[in-house]
Amino acid sequence: MVPRISVRRAETRDLSRIADFNMRMAEETERKKLNAEDALKGVEAVLNDPGKGFYLVAEKGNSREIVGQLLVTFEWSDWRNKNVWWMQSVFVEPEARNQGVFTQLYRKLGDLADSEGRVCGFRLYVKKSNVAAKRVYESIGFRMTLYEIYEK
């Protein structure tokens, strides 16, 4: 049976769960072992500073167990006088996948963006080899951009 899911903004009490999800996600998608203290402090920095971004978490049924998350960070578009919302740290517990958890997180994000009023769109990075995540994003209407990403 598909569990009932509710989505809310993350709070300080969610810190360790989110950091744990981030470590598991890095391991699963990039075979990277994050430093646990950096991972914890990195999440704490967002929770303490709304200017950096915000997390949404998805809770399951009555247990209120967190089974999914995403982070939004902001990129100011001076061309449009609006923000682009970047989706990062998208993760759903393996046992809760393919039951619409991410879809509900994304729906909530859409509602928040509409009510915020100054959001011109969403963007995200995905590893080239992460075929499953690319399918998920395409299923909700995301398309590849004309841009490539450089870094130094």
Ligand X SMILES: CC(C)(COP(=O)(O)OP(=O)(O)OC[C@H]1O[C@@H](n2cnc3c(N)ncnc32)[C@H](O)[C@@H]1OP(=O)(O)O)[C@@H](O)C(=O)NCCC(=O)NCCS
Residues 6+ apart with CB under 8 A from 67: 3, 5, 58, 59, 60, 92, 93, 95, 96, 101
Give the residue, chosen from 57, 101, 109, 119, that forms a contact with ligand X under the rule CB under 6 A. Answer: 101
The C-alpha atoms of residue 15 and residue 40 are separated, in whole angstroms, by 7
Candidate ranges 2-10, 34-42, 72-80, 132-140; the one touching ligand X (CB under 6 A): 132-140
User: Judged by CB, which is closer to ligand X: 78, or 148?
Assistant: 148
Give the residue, chosen from 54, 85, 91, 122, that forms a contact with ligand X under the rule CB under 6 A. Answer: 91
Looking up tokens 């958890």 gives: 101
Give the chain's end-to-end CA distance (angstroms, integer): 46
Task: Give yes or no for residue 139 binding ligand X (CB under 6 A).
Answer: yes
Task: Give yes or no for residue 126 binding ligand X (CB under 6 A).
Answer: yes
Candidate ranges 4-12, 38-46, 90-98, 114-122; the one touching ligand X (CB under 6 A): 90-98
Task: Give yes or no for residue 73 binding ligand X (CB under 6 A).
Answer: no
DSSP state at residue 140: T
Looking up tokens 């971004």 gives: 53
Instruction: Tell me the backbone φ, ψ of residue 77, rounded to 5 degrees.
Output: -105, 105
Residues 6+ apart with CB under 8 A from 31: none
User: Judged by CB, which is closer to ligand X: 16, or 98?
Assistant: 98
H or E segment at 88?
strand 82-92
Binding to ligand X by CB under 6 A, coded x per residue (else -) over 3-32, reads: ----------------------x--xx---
Instruction: Give me the least distance between CB of 81 and ligand X, in Å please.
Output: 28
Residues that bind ligand X (CB under 6 A): 25, 28-29, 90-92, 97-103, 126, 130, 132-133, 135-136, 139
